[in-house]
Amino acid sequence: TPDLGTEFLERPLANPLMNAAGVWCTLAAQLDALADSEAAAIVTKSCTLVRRDGNPEPRYRALPLGSINSMGLPNEGYLYYLDYAAHHDYDHKPLFVSVSGLSLDDNLTIVAALRDVVLPALLEINLSCPNVPGKAQPGYDFEAMDELLAEVATAYRRPFGVKLPPYFDFAHFDTVAQILNRYEHLAFITCINSVGNALIIDTGQESAVIRPKDGFGGLGGDYVLPTALANVNAFHRRCPTKTIIGCGGVRTGEHVFQHLLAGATLVQVGTALYEEGPGIFQRLARELAELMAHKGYRRIDEFRGRLKTL
């Protein structure tokens, strides 16, 4: 049976699987369930300076081909996740802390706190939340993104990463990659966050299906797999010194395989984890191993990033 082992920033991991930020990771009991699952790493819900209730419900809807959400960053506030990080067993598996401050100052306060506690937690800066009314996604404002990264990279001297929104144009892939490549200890890039501001309509009700923002919300699941794979591969090609984390549309072992082939080192699971729960990691690991065995692969590094083109 194939070896699913991989390495992330020189640390060996049992497999490439983890949760996507936001799913099953808001409360300590949920994070504990991920720690006890077959996921090889964990990321916390994106945190803000102070606790947030998030947007009014209904704010998540499962769909035949995925999900739409406009949660609005409900979270316990960054001190809660720092406390969780202080008690986490890092020998068991790595813990990422996702940070989504509502301003540059908020981000810098949280990043400085994470720096000062000196834990092995890994910082993932979320540049791509589409769901806070009145707040644009930093990942779509290239100047603001560069300024934020310059400040974070100065304040925080350890390896860190960014969670990007999906891009749909080669000019944008080029510009963003050029910005990210300027920051040496920006070590990993997570592609993608949800495809923002989609509108799902219930024909019978002639209505939106979620309440916030007149029904506009981020798409996840099957809808977004091709966009996720494109972004993973686009940044894999343009940022050869950085590690890519794939996120988007992963529901089967075959989807994990495709993210790895496109160049991902770790693969995150969002919508499918929300629907199936932490037991999904065991299924995905089994399905990936079965597909690798069928293809004659013994290890992931025999095919990672080796997507063929025509």
Q: Which residues contact 94 (CB under 8 A, 6 or more apart)?
A: 8, 11, 13, 40, 41, 42, 120, 122
Q: Does 44 bind ligand DOR (CB under 6 A)?
A: no
Q: Does 271 bind ligand DOR (CB under 6 A)?
A: no
- Minimal distance, residue 125 CB to ligand DOR, in Å: 11
Amino acid at 294: H
Q: Does 30 bind ligand DOR (CB under 6 A)?
A: no
- Minimal distance, residue 139 CB to ligand DOR, in Å: 10
Is 129 a residue of the active site?
yes
Identified binder of ligand DOR from the candidate list 34, 49, 73, 300, rule CB under 6 A: 73
Site string for ligand DOR, 200-219 (x = CB under 6 A): ------------------x-
Single out the residue of 267, 237, 264, 265 nearest to residue 249, CA to CA.
267
Whole-angstrom Cα distance, residue 105 to residue 202? 40
DSSP SS3 for 3: strand
User: One of 25, 129, 191, 247 is an active-site residue; which one?
Assistant: 129
Closer residue to ligand DOR, CB minimum distance, 47 or 292? 47
One DSSP character per residue, 91-114 reads TT--EEEEE--SSHHHHHHHHHHH
Provide the β-strand partners of residue 11: 8
Whole-angstrom Cα distance, residue 261 to residue 253? 12
Helix-helix angle 142-155:104-117, to 10 degrees:
30
Q: Does 229 bind ligand DOR (CB under 6 A)?
A: no
- Residue count at the site for ligand DOR (CB under 6 A)? 14
Whole-angstrom Cα distance, residue 29 to residue 34? 9
Closer residue to ligand DOR, CB minimum distance, 71 or 285? 71
Q: Does 268 bind ligand DOR (CB under 6 A)?
A: no
Identified binder of ligand DOR from the candidate list 6, 128, 227, 268, rule CB under 6 A: 128
Q: Does 245 bind ligand DOR (CB under 6 A)?
A: no
Q: Does 126 bind ligand DOR (CB under 6 A)?
A: yes
Q: Which residues bind ligand DOR (CB under 6 A)?
A: 22, 46, 69-73, 126, 128-129, 131, 193-194, 218
Active site residues: 129
